[in-house]
Chains A and B, each alone.
Chain A
């Protein structure tokens, strides 16, 4: 089929099968929830349908693991897209399995919550796949809108509504910045297609240089907000603290990874010719984020706020890879994203189960967890050590690769800052571990066990953290292949 401009369009809808499956499942979940009385189904069916849909979408994304194709010049389906589709599906599956008890007890409207989770996963994978500015922007909005609402779903918790309001107001401003920046890029390049923008920015730009820089500043600010990079991180601690814990985990995993997918697509493709204009911006952001994220994390008392600042600090490490962008650093960044997501989820799922049992979330509440539930304390410890980058765990392996690739890209000074910041981070992660192992439990000291799905999710994550830490080659190979799709051999 040809479009009205005469270009060939590939309207093969099966390329979008994963996203279609996610959308259909979302509506199934909402309808199952709506007619639960008539159909005599309980809450338990909702997470089951959700997981089934996610597994189907994961399987469907593997069909195109080795192809490179596009849908109507709007969405690219290649190894990079597949990498993120699989990653996002895994995150959502783990979260649903690990948190369904929490969602039943502490989240309003669980049916809508699962639907939003599915739709935002679809939005996130469109962010990774889009090859047109308009589609990419709409995908960003699908993800953001879902998250604004998901943050507000905490039951009987006034912090939840407050967090949602802060998030939606600041998020709206950031989206406006992003869109205004995109309009400048469109004005300069005369197209919304990545390939055309790349060609246009490679030409003579002396006439419109100011507008190009303004557009880039606005884009970096908008996406910096979405990735919570300093100084656009102000919303992060409040939103993380007020949101239901699975939503916090989702914010720090899928939302962040999707933003980096978009940043990688844009800065390795359409905006690469203008690297001189944006490289310093990202370098400044990366440095500020690493330093401030780690230093402010030292003062936190609430585990969710601590993890919020820890995730900000991690964003700083990841931004380094964008500064010296090449196929090698992109591969390092993708590997680190994978390792970070697994590790972060391990910590968050452990916190969710701790909250299910105790209803508390201050760091001092973790006193004596090694006595009351040694297994959960082990999962938390492995996760926190992996976040800090201790050897033999996946966090060390991927961080090492990331730092090494940035050194190879001749940004040694950034890595020096990163290593110092990373050492500082060990202190606040150890604070939590100290509470669990060195103190006696306050009050109730009886042993307790997780639910079977709790053991399943934390066990799988713990195994992944340890096994990928000892033998990370598969993760690195997959990441390398995905990065290769970003830099096609001309």
Chain B
């Protein structure tokens, strides 16, 4: 009977509620930033920076707060794209490109496939939350100290310049060839770890079988 009523489906409801929250959150930020830009309190690059920063922060908050794990993964895409925008502002187009292609594309797709195949459940209800208020207090305190100290510092005004791809490649694969190799070994170790732990139960039962025979 309820099927015939013109109620939105679960999918539609997610889109509607998500869109509403997004619009409610984004509108004031956009209005304030646009107003500041019009009265010349911030320059155009700063406008882009604050916009990218708010997108990034909203995405990061979404990753932590979303109960549905797929929604959290999609929020991660938003965060990573925000980071790419920051890279563009720093004139490092190559890093921005890699960020979009590798992280925004590859890594998150891989993550979603992983979620799909491992049958991951949504965020379970945490029961041992007695330390939560304390943890929140400490986190807020640390965040306050960090923000205060970073705002307090005078970093000077370093000149950003566009690095040609050619120089970038030479720097990465010749001058810093050793760290690149170390990263390769690191990835290899991580891969080994994933492999041995995925086959852990199998190895355990094989060992038990040997012991029995």
Q: In the complex, are the beta carbons of A108 and B203 less than 8 A apart? A: yes
Which chain A residues lie closer than 8 Å to B23 at the CB level?
none
Interface positions of A from 135 to 184, Cβ below 8 Å from B: 135, 138-139, 141-142, 145-146, 148-149, 152-153, 155-156, 161, 164
Q: In the complex, are the beta carbons of A119 and B185 less than 8 A apart? A: yes
Q: In the complex, are the beta carbons of A142 and B155 less than 8 A apart? A: no
Q: B145-164 toward A: CB 8 Å interface, digit per residue (1/0)?
A: 11011101111101000000
Interface positions of B from 150 to 186, Cβ below 8 Å from A: 150, 152-156, 158, 167, 170-171, 174-179, 182-183, 185-186
Q: In the complex, are the beta carbons of A134 and B196 less than 8 A apart? A: no
One of A51-59, A203-211, A243-251, A342-350 contacting the partner: A203-211
Known A-B contacts A3-B175, A138-B179; A149 and B193 likewise in contact (beta carbons under 8 Å)? yes
Q: In the complex, are the beta carbons of A115 and B153 less than 8 A apart? A: no
How far, in whole Å, are A75 and B176 apart by their CA atoms in the complex? Answer: 11
Interface positions of B from 111 to 151, Cβ below 8 Å from A: 145-146, 148-150
A62 located at the interface, meaning its Cβ lies under 8 Å from any Cβ of chain B in the complex? no
Q: In the complex, are the beta carbons of B207 and A156 less than 8 A apart? A: yes
Q: In the complex, are the beta carbons of A135 and B182 less than 8 A apart? A: yes
Known A-B contacts A155-B203, A207-B153, A210-B153; A72 and B193 likewise in contact (beta carbons under 8 Å)? no
B208 located at the interface, meaning its Cβ lies under 8 Å from any Cβ of chain A in the complex? yes
Q: A41-85 toward B: CB 8 Å interface, digit per residue (1/0)?
A: 000000000000000000000000000000110110000000000
Which chain A residues lie closer than 8 Å to B203 at the CB level?
108-109, 155
Q: In the complex, are the beta carbons of B175 and A4 less than 8 A apart? A: yes
Known A-B contacts A4-B171, A108-B200, A119-B185; A148 and B155 likewise in contact (beta carbons under 8 Å)? no
Known A-B contacts A141-B186, A145-B189; A210 and B152 likewise in contact (beta carbons under 8 Å)? yes
How far, in whole Å, are A198 and B193 apart by their CA atoms in the complex? Answer: 37
How far, in whole Å, are A190 and B157 apart by their CA atoms in the complex? Answer: 12
| B156 to chain A: closest residue by CB | A207
How far, in whole Å, are A64 and B67 apart by their CA atoms in the complex? Answer: 56
Known A-B contacts A4-B171, A74-B176; A138 and B183 likewise in contact (beta carbons under 8 Å)? yes
| A2 to chain B: closest residue by CB | B175
Q: Is the interface of A mostly helix, strand, loop or mixed?
A: helix
Known A-B contacts A134-B179, A152-B197, A208-B154; A116 and B149 likewise in contact (beta carbons under 8 Å)? no
Q: In the complex, are the beta carbons of B189 and A211 less than 8 A apart? A: no
How far, in whole Å, are A9 and B3 apart by their CA atoms in the complex? Answer: 72
Q: In the complex, are the beta carbons of B179 and A135 less than 8 A apart? A: yes
Q: In the complex, are the beta carbons of A108 and B155 less than 8 A apart? A: no
How far, in whole Å, are A115 and B188 apart by their CA atoms in the complex? Answer: 11
Which chain B residues lie closer than 8 Å to A148 at the CB level?
193
Q: In the complex, are the beta carbons of A152 and B200 less than 8 A apart? A: yes
Which chain B residues lie closer than 8 Å to A132 at the CB level?
179
How far, in whole Å, are A434 and B182 apart by their CA atoms in the complex? Answer: 47
How far, in whole Å, are A288 and B200 apart by their CA atoms in the complex? Answer: 38
Taking A108-B196, A119-B188, A161-B197 as known contacts, 4 extra A-B pairs with beta carbons closer than 8 A to each other, sorted by chain A number, are: A126-B182, A141-B186, A210-B152, A213-B149
What are 10 A-B residue pairs whose CB atoms fall within 8 Å in the complex?
A3-B175, A72-B178, A108-B200, A108-B207, A112-B192, A119-B189, A132-B179, A138-B179, A210-B152, A213-B149
- Taking Cβ atoms with an 8 Å cutoff, the residues of A that contact B are 1, 3-4, 9, 16, 23, 71-72, 74-75, 108-109, 112, 115-116, 119, 122-123, 126, 132, 134-135, 138-139, 141-142, 145-146, 148-149, 152-153, 155-156, 161, 164, 187, 190, 207-208, 210-211, 213-214
The 4 A-B residue pairs with the shortest CB-CB distance in the complex, in nearest-first order: A149-B193, A108-B203, A210-B149, A207-B154
